[in-house]
Structure 1
Amino acid sequence: LNLDLKVARSVLPLSVVFIGMITFNNLCLKYVGVPFYNVGRSLTTVFNVLLSYLLLKQTTSFYALLTCGVIIGGFWLGIDQEGAEGTLSLTGTIFGVLASLCVSLNAIYTKKVLPAVDHSIWRLTFYNNVNACVLFLPLMIVLGELRALLAFTHLSSAHFWLMMTLGGLFGFAIGYVTGLQIKFTSPLTHNVSGTAKACAQTVLAVLYYEEIKSFLWWTSNLMVLGGSSAYTWVRGWEMQKTQEDPSSKDGEKSAIRV
């Protein structure tokens, strides 16, 4: 691939959002447990609705807003239960909210910048990662991460680099598959698999760490997952209805003519 600076500039907004998504995701995980991670960054769907209205001036139906209310309710219940268990991190929760915002923006900008790379996911991934590498360097210097990296005792450890390489490969695969899914479907469909992933992630995390959670804690997760699933179903139903309306109107017109 040849690096085209014009294309790189076109992909830059996505790269900025991408950096925010990675940074806030990791910071969220730093302060909260993996089981609560799903609830901590569960507001992606809510931000989808807000951004659709603010950026695209698209209104949302009452039923879709109702599902968002369920998600927000689950979010607050999850915070309450984490607080009751003494494991709540306000900092981690804030980072989770910011991560949700970036995830929502990432889906929107992925769809937006695809024409700049001729709808090629490989090119998009290439330019996005090149931009991210360049943008991360000044952030590392400003935030003092470069000094921390140089002082890291395991920097010469083969095991450390093996884990980093595996993490990079998984991250690349996730980014590629996400872009591919959004390209051939929509950000809405991407939410379906995201909800399923979050459900599996929560259950596996609780089992892996052998944690015992209260009924209300599980209720908060079910509210978030159920609300997200319901939102996806409602939006899918509305889109299908919109597509069917013109044909039904044409049918009515032809019937009148006959």
Structure 2
Amino acid sequence: MSANKYGLTERQAVILTVGFYMLTALVMVSVNKWALNSLRLPWTLLWIQMLIAVLLLRATDYFGAMKMPSLEKDIAKNLIPLIAINVVGLGVNTLCLVYVDTSFYQIARGLVLPFTVLFAYILLGQPSSGLVLGACFTVFCGFYTGVTTEINVSQIGIFFGVVSSITTSLHAIVIKKSLAAVNNSSIDLVYYNNALSLVAMTPLIFLSGESADIMMRFADSGFAAFKSFLFAGFVTGIFGFLVNLAGFLQISKTSPTTHMISGAVRGVLQTLLGYFAFNDVITSGRLMGIILILSGGALYTWAKDKEMRANTKPTYIPMTQQDVDEEQDDIKKGTQV
């Protein structure tokens, strides 16, 4: 297996990319929860994160670390589906986190796999085997178990979780398709995504009524009321930039399936984080739901790996000099034809 310019094999690069994504995403969720516990201004928090991400990207361009593209109208038009899904996805993710515990976040967004398989069939025409459908059913059972055994669970939080599952499933597919619009440059796509999402998210602060809430709080307590929130916004902005970059890198280096599986593993870590950091209560129903969701994800991964192995043709390896000569003769004949 050949190494890249950094001396890493393809497998090592994939492992590092996935690990980087999981770490940054985990920190992002925990700090987001802390920020929203301070002030419930989800769209403003997302806007701050986008602004910091764009400023950081421009800083890397200014200091020569990375070259940022100039925004072009034609490319921006081609990226409208990505921007729309990104803004909606970030919004419902954050709103879901507002209404549910960190440990329940995994269950509320547990339908990512079934929707991924469904959209793969509808949008890409990819049929699924019985094992894959069985994995989806297992995941659905985990989601159903988790949401029906909770007494004080927020129904609106579950709703945002389901919508988040839909946008997450579509997001990985759309990113893969959107890369062609920017000549397969992950960095260019990250910049376009953040810059255009920042513009698209600005009116949402006013439409959601958060701008009026900010003005009222500022009039009552001044800047002091926003110190913790702004600090949290700055921290989440930095990690939002990192998780955005990590997500694009992971999908460009791997596949939507790997992106989904690593997200499931991240969910387990989030559950543990909610228990230890935010004192979340892990009920038996919640625990069973998480186990079923992860079991379905594991079954899906095994089923897809089995399918890939079955569809892989054995590589012909010439064993003798005669085999090599015969192969060369075949190549020459094919060229002459």
TM-score (norm 1): 0.89
CA spacing shift, 1:124–1:208, aligned 2, 3 Å: same
| Partner AA of 1:204 in structure 2 | L
Deviations 1:205-238 (A, max 9, x none): 1222334433332111100111112212211221
Please tell me whether the aligned partners of residues 28 and 95 of structure 1 are also in contact (alpha carbons under 8 angstroms). Answer: yes
Q: Give the Cα–Cα distance (whole angstroms) in 2 for the partners of residues 21 and 236 of structure 1.
A: 29
Deviations 1:18-55 (A, max 9, x none): 01111101111111111111000011111101111111
Please tell me whether the aligned partners of residues 106 and 271 of structure 2 are also in contact (alpha carbons under 8 angstroms). Answer: yes
Extract unaligned runs of 5+ from structure 2.
1-67, 317-337
Residue number among 282, 295, 304 corresponding to 1:213 in the alignment: 282
Provide the residue aligned with 2:123 in structure 1. Answer: 55
Q: Give the Cα–Cα distance (whole angstroms) in 2 for the partners of residues 211 and 147 of structure 1.
A: 32
Of the two, which has the highest radius of gyration? 2
Provide the residue aligned with 2:207 in structure 1. Answer: 142
Q: Give the Cα–Cα distance (whole angstroms) in 1 for the partners of residues 194 and 94 of structure 2.
A: 17
Provide the residue aligned with 1:160 in structure 2. Answer: 229
Q: Give the Cα–Cα distance (whole angstroms) in 2 for the partners of residues 224 and 140 of structure 1.
A: 34
RMSD (Å) for aligned C-alpha atoms: 2.1
1:37-48 aligned within 5 A:
37-48=105-116
Provide the residue aligned with 1:204 in structure 2. Answer: 273
| Partner AA of 2:298 in structure 1 | S
Q: Give the Cα–Cα distance (whole angstroms) in 2 for the partners of residues 23 and 198 of structure 1.
A: 19
SS in 2 for 1:48: helix
Deviations 1:120-159 (A, max 9, x none): 1111011011111111122222232322233334773444
1:99-178 aligned within 5 A:
99-153=164-218, 156=223, 157-178=226-247
Please tell me whether the aligned partners of residues 42 and 71 of structure 1 are also in contact (alpha carbons under 8 angstroms). Answer: yes
SS in 2 for 1:112: helix
Extract unaligned runs of 5+ from structure 1.
250-258
The CA deviation at 1:81 is: 1.7
Provide the residue aligned with 2:96 in structure 1. Answer: 28
Q: Give the Cα–Cα distance (whole angstroms) in 2 for the partners of residues 171 and 165 of structure 1.
A: 10
Residue number among 54, 71, 75 corresponding to 2:139 in the alignment: 71
CA spacing shift, 1:180–1:87, aligned 2, 3 Å: same
TM-score (norm 2): 0.69
Q: Give the Cα–Cα distance (whole angstroms) in 2 for the partners of residues 115 and 72 of structure 1.
A: 34
Please tell me whether the aligned partners of residues 32 and 92 of structure 1 are also in contact (alpha carbons under 8 angstroms). Answer: yes
| Partner AA of 1:4 in structure 2 | E
Tell me the matched-pair count.
Answer: 247
Please tell me whether the aligned partners of residues 64 and 234 of structure 1 are also in contact (alpha carbons under 8 angstroms). Answer: yes
SS in 2 for 1:38: helix
| Partner AA of 1:99 in structure 2 | S
Deviations 1:151-203 (A, max 9, x none): 33477344432211111111111111111010011011112211111111112
Q: Percent identity?
A: 32
Q: Give the Cα–Cα distance (whole angstroms) in 1 for the partners of residues 100 and 172 of structure 2.
A: 24
Q: Give the Cα–Cα distance (whole angstroms) in 2 for the partners of residues 228 and 8 of structure 1.
A: 35
The CA deviation at 1:57 is: 1.7
CA spacing shift, 1:175–1:155, aligned 2, 3 Å: farther
* Alignment pair present for 1:4 and 2:72: yes
Q: Give the Cα–Cα distance (whole angstroms) in 1 for the partners of residues 294 and 95 of structure 2.
A: 22
